[in-house]
Each structure stands twice: as structure tokens, then as C-alpha cells.
Amino acid sequence: MACPRTVRTVRLVGPGGSHLRQDQSNGWPSWCPIWLLFGQAKSDKKRRRQVSRQFRNAVLETRIWWIKRIDTDLFSAQIEIRVDPPHPHNQRSLSPIFSLFSYYIPPAMLRKLLIAICLVLSTQTVAQQPTAAATAAMETSGLVKWMTIDEAMKAYDKAPKPLLIDFYTDWCGWCKHMMKTTYSDPGIAQYINNQFYPVKFNAEGKDTITFLGKTYKPTSPEPRTVHEFALEKLGGKLSYPSTIFMNGFIREENRFQLNLTAPGYLDVKRIEPMLIFSVENVFRNSDYNEFEKQFEKAFRDSTTDVQLNKLNWQSPVDAFRAVPPKKMKTLVFIFTDWCNSCKIMQRASFIDSTVFAYADSTFRLVGFNAESRDTILFNGQQVPFNTQPGAPPFHPLAMALTKNSLVLPSLVVLDEDNQLIESIPAFLPPSSLSRILPYFGSNAYKTQTWNDYIRVKR
């Protein structure tokens, strides 16, 4: 039986109403052998014991309140686990799913486990006490693998990735708090380590650095004076901590297209959309404020699912094998399950009030998972998934519809005969979709360029 990926609440139900509860989310691997350590009752009172669940890569620690007696012939425990589908990047919940697991523990095994509990719990008690060194390291670095500016730029030249620059000072309490909380969150830290070159920069440091060919020095040898690099990048607005996200380097202009500055403390909820905005090139078509609103609507608005179900999305297999009752243009939305901005565009942009009615009445809507292994009948030809070594990981039809330049997400517009009109890469907010769809839906594209059309509409 496969384990859920995310645990929100764990409840052990046994004789006498004993229970176990855990509210912190933890990632689970694909299998989860569970062993329980039982404590004995003492003076006929409920007793609290530490219980551990050992997984392949993660440990979920919980606490248990025991019943008065466990000297029954049969002890059958049930663990009720409330789980949620993984959030696109930090495995937070969208809607609850419930799973129930039962375990039989015979008395003989209980006696053996009681012998083992003293050794294991004593070791765990020592191991779980954070050392002074570990606490200090958490305050200064969290779980993020920080780099210097020089290290980050050398790595960028070899393999471009977005930059995340954390500006801090030694005296800043919120800087340390952000290290202990946001940057110590396992999901956030892993995402940053995998997708960014993270730089930790002392805004009052005394080192001379070079960035994009320009040299930056301390403004003064005196303590608590700002560094030139912090002064320039923060635009003179010296608030600590401050975080800058950079991406889309334009070599001809020697600058980054994205320079998103976020002053002040960022908790997990605030930094999540910023990470996606930077990594998935959302800044190409959207400003951050609009994207943040769509992010909230997609993942934190309880009414989204109701509205989303009103749109009639078809799979490419179903859409292209049948002759539609009436000829109409087709919107093919190309996505993958792991693409965060794809989810946001589908769950928020398409259901926006400025887009929904026109899209639903003017176009046939096709949702195309680019990693689909289906054989698709398109314009009379069978298009199977390419399993040859070295072939792209995406379906050949998705590649063809985007002219072999697939960017996720992509919106493809087909005419009434399923001929390609246009392929539009990257995330599109409602403000863009509300102009793009009428451009193609009204056939304005046949007589006007996009720039002329937008100029007239303005």
C-alpha cells in the first residue's frame, strides 16, 4: 500500500481511546515501514511517550498519550492519517484525503518492544537536543547552501540559474529569524538549493567585490556603514533583511531582466510565489503583483475549484479524434504536472471574469500534458510518444505545436481546421489573456499585426 506524500494529522486510535496527533507536514517516500514504541502505564494515569516513525528518507516524530492498561490479549491499533495532495513546491494542502491503516501488535512483541524502548528513547532524547553550534548555524545559514557573489557568478557562467541575494547585517534580529524559519524550512531550502544560486551578503561588510564587471567597496571603514553593493542594489532603501531575485541575463546589455526586490522579513507563504515567479520565467509576461494575486487564487481560494469545473477541458485524445458538432477555433494549453506556473495559469487565469466567458464560448479547450504517453490522432495521422533513446521527454505533438521550442506553459491557437495559428510561450495573466483571445477569436490576426491591434485597443 503506497504511503501518502504529505501528512497533516496523525491519530492513533486504540482501546480506551488512546490517541496520537501530529500537525506538522512532512514528506514521505514511496514506502513507509512503521514501528511503534510503547510505554507502560504508571500509577493508572495516562502517560506521554515519544513515538517515532522511521521512513526511508524522513522521520515523523509524534507524541502519544497511553491508556491505563495494555495487558489485553489483543492490541489492535489503528492509525488515521489525514493527507493532502502536494503543493507545487512545498507540499502544502489543497484539499483533504483520508487514509486508514491498521496494525496488529501481539503481546509478545509488546514485551520485546518495552525492553527496547529504554535504549532507543534515551538515545533519541540526547539526539533531539539541539547543540549550541547547531542553533548558531541555523541562525546564520538555515538549510540553504549559501554562496559568495564571486562563486555564484562563476557557477552562473557555466550553468545559468536565477540568483537569490539575501542582504543582512550582523545586528539584524529579523535577518536571524528568517534564517531560523523561512530558510530552515526543508521544502523551501531544497527548492532554493536546486533552482537558485543563493547568495548571502553582509550589507555592512568590508570586502571588495566585483559584479557584472563593476567593482563595489565599503563606503567607510567604520562599523555599521553600508556597502556600495547593497546601496546600489537596494536603491538606497536600506531595509534588512532584503531579498533580490535575479533572472534572465541579457548579455548584450550586461544586465538581468528580472530584478525583484522584496524588503523585510519573508515568511514561507510570502516567498513561495516569488520563487516560482523567478524560476519559471513568469516575469516575461507578467508583473509580480498580478502574478501574486493569481497564485493566491490558484492555491488559497476555496472557490477556485467550483469555477474551474465549469470550463470544459478535453484531452487531446478525445478532442482530436472526434469531429466537433460545429467548427470553432481551438486553444491547446500545454502543461506538465510539475510546472507550477502551468497550474496557476489554468486554475486562475482561465477562470478570471475577464477571460472565462469568452474562452468558453469562442474556443474548444484542450488541456495537453506534454509528458503524456498517449498515441494521439491529429489531422488524420497517428502521433505516438517517441520512446527512442535521446528523444525529447515531451510528446512529439506538443513539440510540433510549439515549433520545437516548447516553453512551459504554452498556449497554442489552432484555426477551425486544426491548423496552427500561433504558439505563445510562458505564463499569461488574465490581463494578457483578455486581449489575446479576442485578437484570434475575432480573426483580427488576419488583418492586423499584434502591435497595431493593441495600439487601437488602447
Q: How far is C-alpha 2 from the chain's CA centre? A: 22
**What 3-state class would DSSP assign to 178?**
helix
State yes or no: pLDDT of 27 exceeds 90.
no
Domain C-terminal end among 97, 129, 161 = 129
State yes or no: pLDDT of 30 exceeds 90.
no
Residue pLDDT, tens place only, 428-442: 999 999 999 999 999
Q: What is the pLDDT of residue 238?
A: 95
pLDDT above 70: percentage of residues in the chain: 70
116 and 248 inside one domain: no
Q: What is the pLDDT of residue 141?
A: 87
**Edge-to-edge order in the sheet of strand 410-414:** 313-314, 363-369, 329-335, 410-414, 420-425
85 vs 375: which has the higher pLDDT: 375
Residue pLDDT, tens place only, 377-432: 999 999 999 999 999 999 999 999 999 999 999 999 999 999 999 999 999 999 99
Does residue 193 fall inside a structural domain? yes
Residue pLDDT, tens place only, 233-274: 999 999 999 999 999 999 999 999 999 999 999 999 999 999
107 and 148 inside one domain: no
- pTM assigned to the model: 0.71
Does residue 292 fall inside a structural domain? no
**What 3-state class would DSSP assign to 166?**
strand
Tally Cβ neighbours within 10 Å of residue 390: 5
**What 3-state class would DSSP assign to 240?**
coil
d(CA 324, CA 339): 30
95 and 12 inside one domain: yes
Does residue 290 fall inside a structural domain? no
408 and 435 inside one domain: yes
d(CA 104, CA 58): 24
Per-residue H/E/C for 279-293:
HCCHHHCCCHHHHHH
Buried (b) or exposed (e) across 129-149, using 16+ Cβ within 10 A? Answer: eeeeeeeeebeebbbbebbeb
397 and 446 inside one domain: yes
State yes or no: pLDDT of 106 exceeds 80.
no
Q: What is the pLDDT of residue 324?
A: 79
Domain C-terminal end among 129, 146, 168 = 129
Mean model confidence pLDDT for the chain: 79
250 and 208 inside one domain: yes
Domain C-terminal end among 89, 112, 129 = 129
Q: What is the pLDDT of residue 322?
A: 82
442 and 314 inside one domain: yes
The total of structural domains in the chain comes to: 3
The one-letter amino acid at 64: I
Residue 100: Cβ-neighbour burial (10 angstroms; 0-12, 13-18, 19+)? exposed
- Nearest CA-CA partner of 246 in 1, 78, 254: 254
Q: What is the pLDDT of residue 153?
A: 97
Residue pLDDT, tens place only, 170-221: 999 999 999 999 999 999 999 999 999 999 999 999 999 999 999 999 999 9
d(CA 343, CA 346): 5
Residue-number span of the structural domain to which 389 is assigned: 300-457
116 and 143 inside one domain: no
Mean pLDDT of 274-299: 97
363 and 399 inside one domain: yes
- What is the pLDDT confidence band of residue 282, given thresholds at 50, 70 and 90? very high
Residue pLDDT, tens place only, 38-94: 333 333 334 333 333 333 333 233 323 232 223 333 333 333 333 333 443 443 333
349 and 403 inside one domain: yes
The three cell numbers locating residue 143: 538549510
Q: What is the pLDDT of residue 101?
A: 34
State yes or no: pLDDT of 8 exceeds 60.
no
- Nearest CA-CA partner of 298 in 333, 347, 335, 340: 347
Tally Cβ neighbours within 10 Å of residue 417: 9
Can you tell me which residue has the cell 499584434? 450
**What 3-state class would DSSP assign to 42?**
strand
Does residue 109 fall inside a structural domain? yes
State yes or no: pLDDT of 148 exceeds 50.
yes
Does residue 101 fall inside a structural domain? yes
d(CA 375, CA 6): 33
Distance separating the N- and C-terminal Cα atoms of the chain = 58
Does residue 100 fall inside a structural domain? yes
State yes or no: pLDDT of 169 exceeds 90.
yes
Does residue 150 fall inside a structural domain? yes
State yes or no: pLDDT of 280 exceeds 90.
yes
- The CATH number that applies at residue 182 is 3.40.30.10
State yes or no: pLDDT of 286 exceeds 80.
yes
- The alpha carbons of the chain give a radius of gyration, in whole angstroms, of 27
In degrees and rounded to multiples of 5, residue 124 shows phi and psi of: -65, -40
Q: What is the pLDDT of residue 456?
A: 87
| CA distance to 39, 50, 72, 75, 325, per residue, from 47 (Å) | 8, 10, 18, 17, 68
The three cell numbers locating residue 111: 514485551
d(CA 419, CA 436): 18
d(CA 142, CA 186): 9
State yes or no: pLDDT of 452 exceeds 80.
yes
63 and 118 inside one domain: yes
Q: Would strands 163-168 and 197-202 be described as parallel, antiparallel, or unpaired?
A: parallel
Residue pLDDT, tens place only, 301-359: 989 999 888 899 999 999 999 887 889 999 999 999 999 999 999 999 999 999 999 99
241 and 325 inside one domain: no
- What is the pLDDT confidence band of residue 297, given thresholds at 50, 70 and 90? very high
CA quadruple 357, 359, 362, 365: dihedral positive or negative? negative
Does residue 295 fall inside a structural domain? no
